Amino acid sequence: MLTKLVPLLLVLFIFGFASTPASARGKIFPFPYTVDDLDNGLRLVVVPLSNPNVVAHYIVVRTGSRNEVEPGKSGFAHFFEHMMFRGTDRFSADAYDALMKAIGAETNAFTNDDYTCYHTLFVKDDLEKVVEIEADRFQGLKYPEPAFRTEAKAVLGEYNKNSANPISQLFEKLQETAYDRHTYKHTTMGFLKDIEAMPEQFEYSRQFFDRFYRPENTVLVIAGDVRRDAVLAMVKKHWGSWKRGTFRQEIPVEPEQAAARQASVDWPTPTLPWVAVAYKGPAYSDSAKDMPSMDLIASIAFSSSSPLYQKLVIHEQKVDALSPFFGNSRDPGLVVVFARVKDAKDVEYVKGEILRTFEETKAKPVGADRLAAVKSNQKYSFALRMDNTESVASILSDFLQLNPDPETVNRLYATYDSITPEDLTAMANKYFAENRRTIVTLAHRADAAGN
């Protein structure tokens, strides 16, 4: 037991175990934090860490492709990840870049189904300057129509580049096939036809920004060599005048799937075939057992330590990649197993083995020792990821987009601890029903025709 605790204790030592309140000790997220809500609805989370001189500044906008409910308007959450670097009246795009380079900051952004995140890593002496210029671009973003059109074409170029990867096309077809009404039907990039039409959507882009880039939809995470009172004063000074919005939105609820679905992607050039087997899963929750149960099943039944992996990849060598995918999501997402098959003639066999394994999780309870080992590995792997300032801010931000209370991390892992083998069997029977299933294959056209 002591051997297992050594890595976690090392993390706690590096990041200031001595300053952690007694109530936080033993929690998976062991660092002290404060939460402050400005009058305009902006939430500030400050995580003081004892590693010197480094600060991570994360802006979580709780808007992603999930919010793109209007027909013909997919892709705008990702589009604004690009546009937010276009500058303001105070700081042009060139001035912003020059300032960041001058202070040696690392800055970037990303978008997914549920949120958009803007992150910067820098030394603490530049904290107020970073807070100032980031607050300015969120409140004062300006872009003329020609710049909008240029960026829209760049987004189309990014889509075309990504589409050259078979796994990108496979996932796009999977989401499109699995969902009817919910906006998870399209990927973060959006539907191709919408991206192609985007240069003509200048006025709508202003509406999108006005709706979603608002303080009540934003969480600011500042972690590192900082103190709460000083940070709060800076944030109030630079973010406090940002006006709260009035837009309210309902995300379409996905209806129950009536029957199993399947689709295929015909790839124009030679490539190894892919198989994706997916089931409609649960949404994120830090108290219900559904989501963590799916996560544990994915690790137990389909990870590199699973019997299926050993069979298909190691012993039979029919597959050279086998991986489960089940990410946390605001609304019910997909539990997916991906496999890349070495020979097209084995696609049906591999598909059958994956389906057989899903069925086994419904009928054959996992051993208590195996479950305990997977929980332990998962827990300490998570703890070891929090080994630097940026990782702490990044991990916390990923949870705050799901639930803006930092304590959600600790509640979630307490729920993991409570799960039994019987829980896993019950959840497998609940979610791995035939009418919740979607299978998509991808193969070279000649292989697909011969299959």
pLDDT in tens, 321-366: 999 999 999 999 999 999 999 999 999 999 999 999 999 999 999 9
pLDDT of residue 450: 53
Domains in the chain: boundaries: 33-239, 261-450
User: What is the rounded distance in angstroms from the CA atom of residue 3 to the CA atom of residue 407?
Assistant: 27
Domain 261-450 in the same topology as domain 33-239 = yes
Fold (topology level) of 33-239: Cytochrome Bc1 Complex; Chain A, domain 1 (3.30.830)
pLDDT of residue 324: 96
Q: What is the DSSP string of 176-213?
A: HHH-SSSGGGS-TT--HHHHHHGGG-HHHHHHHHHHHS
User: What is the rounded distance in angstroms from the CA atom of residue 410 to the CA atom of residue 140?
Assistant: 36
Helix, coil or strand: residue 220: strand
User: What is the rounded distance in angstroms from the CA atom of residue 164 to the CA atom of residue 166?
Assistant: 6
* C-alpha distances in Å from residue 173, one per residue of 31, 190, 213, 266, 398: 41, 12, 30, 11, 26
pLDDT of residue 448: 55
Kindly give the parts of the chain with pLDDT less than 70.
Answer: 1-25, 446-451
Q: What is the pLDDT of residues 156-166, one digit of tens each?
A: 999 999 999 99
Q: What are phi and psi of 263, to 5 degrees?
A: -155, 170
End-to-end CA distance of the chain: 52
Instruction: Specify the CATH class of 261-450 in words.
Output: alpha beta
pLDDT of residue 25: 52
Beta bridge partners of 160: none
pLDDT of residue 191: 96
CB 27 within 8 A of CB 410: yes
Which of 110, 203, 201, 200 is CA-nearest to residue 158?
110
